[in-house]
Structure 1
Amino acid sequence: MGSNSTSSAESNCNGTYLTFQYSLYATTYIFIFIPGLLANSVALWVLCRFISKKNKAIIFMINLSVADLAHVLSLPLRIYYYINRHWPFQRALCLLCFYLKYLNMYASIFFLTCISLQRCLFLLKPFRARNWKRRYDVAISAAVWIIVGTACLPLPILRSAGLANNSESCFADLGLQDITMASSIGMVTAAELGGFVLPVVIITYCTWKTRKSLQEFQDPPQNIKERKKALRMVLMCAVVFIVCFTPYHLNFPFFMMVKQRVFSNCSFIRNTLCFHIISLCLANLNCCLDPVVYYFMTSEFRDQFSEHGNLVIQSCLHCKDSTLEIRQRKENLQTISLECLDVPTQCDEMVI
């Protein structure tokens, strides 16, 4: 649920209004925007156009890229707000950008989990992989979007109270509606168990089983290579998950308790809010780290990216060579023209 604004309980502690959040958020989003936009745009282009649809986890990768791209496209508005500390746009646009942030976070968590689980399952049960239909992945992806999209809807609703009081505030400066302790506990439990603990258990199990299968089975070199690729894929998903999403979910229960005025210690409140800001910045890094999963863990993606990347580079070099050639011809024509002006008789003989 991410806000870093102060509640009435927090305001009782001097210095809990963390002004560094504006510069930190703006710097983080500026750092993420260009690489995230380019990497996910290229990844989506390659995945949709050049990768065989029979490739393992391709549907999940496409959906993961779409989730990242949707959030990245909203970053310029966030950058504008944190630099100017003023929101001149519609209230609905603020809530939409707020919603996309958490939609991206939990969609990424679930699709990374799906990628890990599928690679592990297909590795351990290859016969099931042969009979697996692409429509199954499409159905699973649709279910993920419906579940995550519905589960994230309360987040902008709970934060819309701040917009009613101050239409120029958005994002970190939005207030949090008062909710009962029971509702708060239910929300934290659902977010932690469904959005963190369950995916952690699945990814950890997949990593362990994949590594174990590599050590136990004496397969031909081709099968060993496939198992190593699967292990790298699962490990990469685990790394992205740990780096981007673990800090936020470890701090989230304490953040909600601060919002519910459970704690009165000013130092603890300040540290919790500071860590919440940092954890949200780390959560945004998944937009840049997810394309690494596609590139380094999928040989077909890497081959297609290298091939078409080389074509683009060659085209640019060819255009550059053509431009230099045209420029050289112009200079030669100018030289001949000057010579014609100086010695017209010789020029007539050259023309003849």
Structure 2
Amino acid sequence: MGEIDSCQNVTDFDALKRYEHQTYAIIYSIILLPGLIGNVLALWVFHVYVKETKKAVIFMINLAVADLLQVLSLPLRIYYYLNDSWPFGRGLCMFCFYLKYVNMYASIFFLVCISVRRCMMVLHPLQYTSCRRRMDRTLCAAGWLFVCLCCLPFPLLRNSSSDKSEKAVNGLDPSERCFAELPVRNLSAVAGLSLMVGAELFGFLVPLGVVGTCTLLTAGNLRQDGGRGRRVRVPAGDGGEKRRALRMVLSCAGVFLLCFLPYHVTFPLHYVAKARWPSAGCGFRHAVLRCHPVTLCLASLNCCLDPVMYYFTTEEFRRRLSRPEISETLQLQRRLSCITTEDKALTSEPH
């Protein structure tokens, strides 16, 4: 949102701002509790039960951390959209604004890693039988660094200086504005298009192509095994493992299409609408400005969908989360705690 032009008067601006704030507040409130419970539970399960697995658990842990960071920033966002005021300082505002995009592109990165790893485990099972923890950790650290650096333009392009003309239009003190109401620095058309094309190409299209390729390769390998199943003896459990891998890769592709595709479709359109290009008509701009908040919220929906994906595609996760397993683990932990306490008491007694 910015200056008023021929397509937008003060009334339209206020109605659009109310619509955006209501949309964000409602959808983020819906996402908050399931996302918080799901990702905390996922991290607990991965830490306690699945430490020794040979699957892509390290990538799932990092994906859950990225989702949890996004969920933890939602209460501040909800407060702002409900109260139309940001009393927490500009630094925290910029950090929450930055965290949104770090979460989105970190999630994309780790979904790609999970898809590639599962695909390679199906195509080259002997090569991926051992747990490559060191390589996975290095890849995760490099991914976080790369994503954090690439997302820096999002907050850096937001102008932190106050603008009296904008204050008169928006009815908000510049120090109380955050997120969508932050003014954007002026960029040349070439610089703006370059940043937008780079974000679209390397942030979404290339990862989507990788996930799509992994899906086709995994499905093709499973179909090959099905076609020769009568002639070739398949090791016990191998077919089920491949089907679980295919479900995981398909789930990653589904999260891509549902959560990230709508945003990356409206992202360039939103840039055109905000730039007020002469070719962009008023109806087009109005439709894009109304759709963009919904697609941005969908990009946060992966915080809820990722834990569901873990549950339905990872047998160990589902088994360990069942009620008997939880009760057995709690009993085991209590026994270990009692044994530890008794040992300490014995060692502390005088001899």
| TM-score of the pair, normalised by structure 1 | 0.83
- Does 1:277 find its partner at 2:285? no
Displacement of 1:259 after TM fit?
Answer: 2.4
Displacement of 1:308 after TM fit?
Answer: 6.8
Partners of 1:303 and 1:93 in 2: how far apart? 40
8 Å CA contact 2:43–2:64 kept in 1: the answer is yes
Following superposition of structure 1 onto structure 2, how do residues 94-113 of structure 1 map, counting pairs within 5 Å? 94-113=93-112
Residue 283 of structure 2 corresponds to which residue in structure 1?
Answer: 267
**Structure 2 residue matching 1:128: 3-state secondary structure:** coil
Moved over 4 A (4+): 162-165, 307-310, 312-315
Partners of 1:306 and 1:110 in 2: how far apart? 30
Partners of 1:150 and 1:308 in 2: how far apart? 44
Displacement of 1:280 after TM fit?
Answer: 0.6
Q: Which residue of 2, 7, 16 corresponds with 1:6?
A: 2
Higher helix content, 1 or 2:
1
- Does 1:93 find its partner at 2:92? yes
Displacement of 1:160 after TM fit?
Answer: 3.6
Following superposition of structure 1 onto structure 2, how do residues 1-352 of structure 1 map, counting pairs within 5 Å? 5-9=1-5, 12-14=7-9, 15=12, 18=16, 19-131=18-130, 133-161=132-160, 166-217=174-225, 218=229, 219-262=234-277, 263-307=279-323, 310-311=326-327
Deviations 1:78-134 (A, max 9, x none): 110000001111110000110111100000011001100110011101121025521
> What's the % identity of the aligned pairs?
45
Deviations 1:117-161 (A, max 9, x none): 110011101121025521111111111101100011111111243
Inter-CA distance 265–99: structure 2 relative to 1 (3 Å threshold): same
| Count of aligned positions | 310
Displacement of 1:184 after TM fit?
Answer: 0.8
CA RMSD of aligned residues (A): 2.1
Partners of 1:214 and 1:133 in 2: how far apart? 24
Partners of 2:162 and 2:13 in 1: how far apart? 21
* Stretches of structure 1 lacking an aligned partner (at least 5 in a row): 316-352
* Stretches of structure 2 lacking an aligned partner (at least 5 in a row): 165-173, 332-351
8 Å CA contact 1:60–1:111 kept in 2: the answer is yes
8 Å CA contact 1:26–1:79 kept in 2: the answer is yes
Displacement of 1:35 after TM fit?
Answer: 0.8
**Structure 1 residue matching 2:254: 3-state secondary structure:** helix
**Structure 2 residue matching 1:53: 3-state secondary structure:** coil
8 Å CA contact 2:54–2:131 kept in 1: the answer is no
Inter-CA distance 7–16: structure 2 relative to 1 (3 Å threshold): same
| TM-score of the pair, normalised by structure 2 | 0.83
**Structure 2 residue matching 1:126: 3-state secondary structure:** coil
**Structure 2 residue matching 1:284: 3-state secondary structure:** coil
**Structure 1 residue matching 2:127: 3-state secondary structure:** helix
Displacement of 1:13 after TM fit?
Answer: 2.5
State the one-letter code of the partner of 2:263: Y
Displacement of 1:55 after TM fit?
Answer: 2.8
- Which entry has the higher C-alpha Rg, 1 or 2? 1
